[in-house]
Amino acid sequence: MGFLPKPIVLPSGTSALDVSGFKRAGPIGGKSVYYTSPVNGNTYGNFAWMADILTATPLVIPKEVTLDQIGIRVATPGTATLSRLGIYADDGNVYPGALLLDAGTVDVSTAGFKALDISLSLSPGLYWLATLHNGGVTLKVSTPANQVNVMGHDPVVASQAFSRIDAAMPFGSLPDPFPGNGNYIVGGFRLVFVRVAA
């Protein structure tokens, strides 16, 4: 089966792997396996997300896959009750472009792993995992030291790589295409998880 990176432990018998280690679909050791933005390590933290900020983090797809779930892990509930999840194509310039999937909303008023069933086939390439919240909520993130550099480095703070693109917009359906006024932000990846169909 080949090398598999160390899994991120998620609640309720699930685990997650760095997407760069895509080796298989379906369960490993009886657990469902999820993939996320590329990280190099197993140290994770929490981050308080704000309302009305559309955030996109990179997803590297190394082979043809069909995704059947998308989700986030709520560490601490806040004022938010809903988070909208989706996936964007890359526009060819390391920036999210066309909307491929608006998966709908998950209830984030309680802690735990929240997922939606989807069906989306992707070819190898760069994609973007998107979230938008109707209030504040604290979610699981990678630490800056563990993320794999996909977006380049901040020219002022050279020790920090960019980790996401934020664009201000009211909570609602995801826009198509992604807004052109997004800002590159440093810090750890805001982790959104996807599952490969068995």
Q: pLDDT: is 48 or 172 the higher one?
A: 172
68 assigned to some structural domain: yes
Residue 163 forms part of a structural domain: yes
Tally of domains in the chain: 1
Domain for residue 105, yes or no? yes
Domain span holding position 145: 43-191
- CA-to-CA distance for 66 and 25, rounded, in angstroms? 9
Answer yes or no: is 25 within a domain: no
CA distance 73 to 101: 19
Question: Average pLDDT, stretch 66-95?
Answer: 93
Do 75 and 59 form a contact (C-beta atoms < 8 A)?
no
Is residue 4 domain-resident? Answer: no
> Has residue 140 been placed in a domain?
yes
Which CATH number do you get for residue 61? 2.60.120
The pLDDT-based confidence of 186 (bands split at 50, 70, 90) is: confident
Q: In the structure, what pLDDT confidence band is assigned to residue 1 with cuts at 50, 70 and 90?
A: very low
If one compares 11 and 66, the residue with the highest pLDDT of the two is 66
Lookup: tokens for 159: 């020790």
pTM for the predicted model, two decimal places: 0.82
**Mean pLDDT of the chain, nearest integer:** 81
